[in-house]
Amino acid sequence: MLENCFAILSNANDASLWTYCFDASATAPSLRASERIAAGPGVMPLALSADRRQLFAATRGGTPSLVKYSVDSRAARLTTEYRLPIGASLVSLAADRTGQLLFGVSYGSHELLAFSVKQLDLGDATPRQVESGIIRNAHGVLVSDDNRFVYATSLGSDAVLSWTLDENASQPLSALETLSVGRGFGPRHLCLAPDGAWLYVLSEFRATVAVFRRDTRTGRLAPHSVCARPDVLADLQDGFARPPATEPQPDPAMLASLVWAADIHVHPDGRFVYFSERTTNRLFTLRVRADGTLEHAGHVETEPQPRGFRIDPSGRTLLACGEHSTHVSLFSIDTQTGALTLCSRSEGGSGANWVEIVAVES
């Protein structure tokens, strides 16, 4: 059977990565579980190198660490290269486009860290640069496709921050601008449109998406619009910044009444944006209108507490996991409407939270 996609999922409770194979071009794609690879307690964010040959994972257990794997996409296999302790618990990772730098943000220590991959390969996990004091409850980070800019979200300060990037400088990041998204927005994850002209920022607290027009030459952002909260979430109240998982948590009954959005991704053709909401276990589809605004185009139920999902490179399927589920779901994507249809479900690990998908080499 032809399988053209290789998926990698992190499972925090199992301290492992699980891999799956599937054929995204099939009429009814079916997931096939492949390997289970040791990672470390509390493994969460993943980041692929630009060439898709290396994978970084951050563990958030008692001793946070970075783990590097080599990726054999032809054989659909991971090989552990090393594991290094680090001084911060990272909630998001992003690799630069040259393979020289790895960026991570820490929610608990309010930092953006830049690591030299060359230093990591030599066993030195000392950050090359640390941005602190300006990014309270940091939650998402990404690198522009031209490798000239880095963007991050500050959940606690309701802001999106940007830096210019020079991978050859001793201090690769230079502050560019800080933009407010409005008090109580709670910016979490973020993604760029395929052409780089738009930046989408998900509100964890409201389940809305802020749209920024992006100047691809200067990297600067201009607020454009914010979509409405989906009608099916009208009974929920706005959320708030929650304590790190290592600290006491608020009353569960109260949390069940709050919006708790998680992940966001844009379709490879740029026509649809998707996000997950954990309180109601749903995936939402947003249509990108001609003027750049977003409108709701539907939703589906998925695995309980869906912290992470990913769209395959061809744009035909979406793979979702849930922190409170021991299964993962594969949805087909209607390329005309953006609608999601469940086509396969497979056994998974415990505490699943992050997904990466690699096109299998022929």
Q: What is the pLDDT of residues 220-240, one digit of tens each?
A: 999 999 999 999 999 999 999
Kind of pairing, strands 111-116 and 327-333?
Answer: unpaired
Instruction: Say what percent of the chain tops pLDDT 90.
Output: 94
What distance separates the 2 farthest-apart alpha carbons in the chain?
52
Q: Measured between alpha carbons, how far is residue 2 from residues 114, 310, 344 in Å?
A: 39, 21, 16
Q: How far apart are CA 323 and CA 214, in angstroms?
A: 33
Tell me what pLDDT residue 19 has: 97
pLDDT tens figures, 79-127: 999 999 999 999 999 999 999 999 999 999 999 999 999 999 999 999 9
Q: How far apart are CA 46 and CA 11, in angstroms?
A: 11
Instruction: Give, for 3, the enclosing helix (H) or strand (E).
Output: none
pLDDT tens figures, 276-309: 999 999 999 999 999 999 999 999 999 999 999 9
Which of the 8 DSSP states describes residue 228?
Answer: P
Q: Measured between alpha carbons, how far is residue 274 from residues 88, 101, 209, 284 in Å?
A: 29, 28, 10, 5
CA-based nearest residue to 22, from 257, 255, 336, 332: 332
pLDDT tens figures, 26-70: 999 999 999 999 999 999 999 999 999 999 999 999 999 999 999
Spatial contact of 104 and 90, defined as CB atoms under 8 Å apart: yes
Strand partners, 80: 69
The yes-or-no verdict on residue 2 having pLDDT over 90 is no
Spatial contact of 279 and 256, defined as CB atoms under 8 Å apart: yes
Please list, residue by residue across 108-131, b when 16 or more beta carbons sit within 10 angstroms of its beta carbon and e when fewer do: bbbbbbbbbbeebeeeebebbbbb
Q: How far apart are CA 161 and CA 155, in angstroms?
A: 11
Q: pTM for the full model?
A: 0.97
Conformation bin of residue 164: beta by default, left when phi > 0, alpha when psi is -120 to 50:
beta
Q: Measured between alpha carbons, how far is residue 335 from residues 213, 263, 287 in Å?
A: 24, 20, 11
Q: Which domains does the chain have, with CATH numbers?
A: 5-359 (2.130.10.10)
